[in-house]
Amino acid sequence: MQDIIIRNATIEDIEKIADIKIEGWQTAYRGIIDDDFLDNMNIEKEIEKRRNNIDNGVNIIVAELDKNIVGFCLYRNYNKDTEKYPEADCEISSLYITSKLRRNGIGRKLMQYVIELLRKEDKKQMILGCLKENYPSRAFYEKMGGKVISYDKFKIGNKEYGLVIYEYNLKKIKIEE
């Protein structure tokens, strides 16, 4: 695979990021989350969410291949849920790769990049949540050194879904190239 460029997202990237997020949900979560919800995801709402992320201090990085965005990662250099996870001081809240390029090392490169940035800020404990039934992603997060610390739930519409919470000790974790 050609060289992947990892860089900070810009406002001009938001539409492509929204496309990747929706496509990611519609492929990875089919059979887990209700089809009706997946089939009716709204690109305009997703674009607005990503704009709000940038406006509210959520960091977004993108993976670029041949001048095309092929993945992204949203992370916070703080923990928005200190009541549930008091030891965590940072988190990854989203990591998506376009479905055509999954399993090519792009997700690993994005995580490596974020972990290095957080280490430079002297962060120590990162958390990340994953749908309980999303076994391919869970295997990836565990391969990347995540340890399950708890199980949680979240709601979409009237239905609850299981969530697995991973923790990464940023001082000890070793990420292979």
Q: What is the pLDDT along the chain (177 residues), one digit of tens a residue?
A: 568 999 999 888 999 999 999 999 999 898 889 888 999 999 999 999 988 887 777 799 999 998 999 999 999 888 777 788 888 899 999 999 988 877 778 989 999 999 999 999 999 999 999 999 999 999 999 999 999 999 999 888 778 999 999 999 998 877 655
Q: Is residue 174 part of a domain?
A: no
Identify whether the C-beta of residue 126 lies closer than 8 Å to the C-beta of residue 88: yes
Report the number of distinct structural domains present in the chain.
1
Q: In CATH, what number is assigned to the domain containing residue 85?
A: 3.40.630.30
Provide CB contacts within 8 A for 19, sequence distance 6+: 43
Q: How far is CA 100 from CA 31, 73, 157, 176, in A?
A: 19, 17, 29, 23
Q: Is residue 36 part of a domain?
A: yes
Identify whether the C-beta of residue 106 lies closer than 8 Å to the C-beta of residue 6: no
Q: Is residue 55 part of a domain?
A: yes
Residue numbers of the domain that contains 42: 5-169
38's torsion region: left (phi>0), alpha (psi -120 to 50) or beta?
alpha
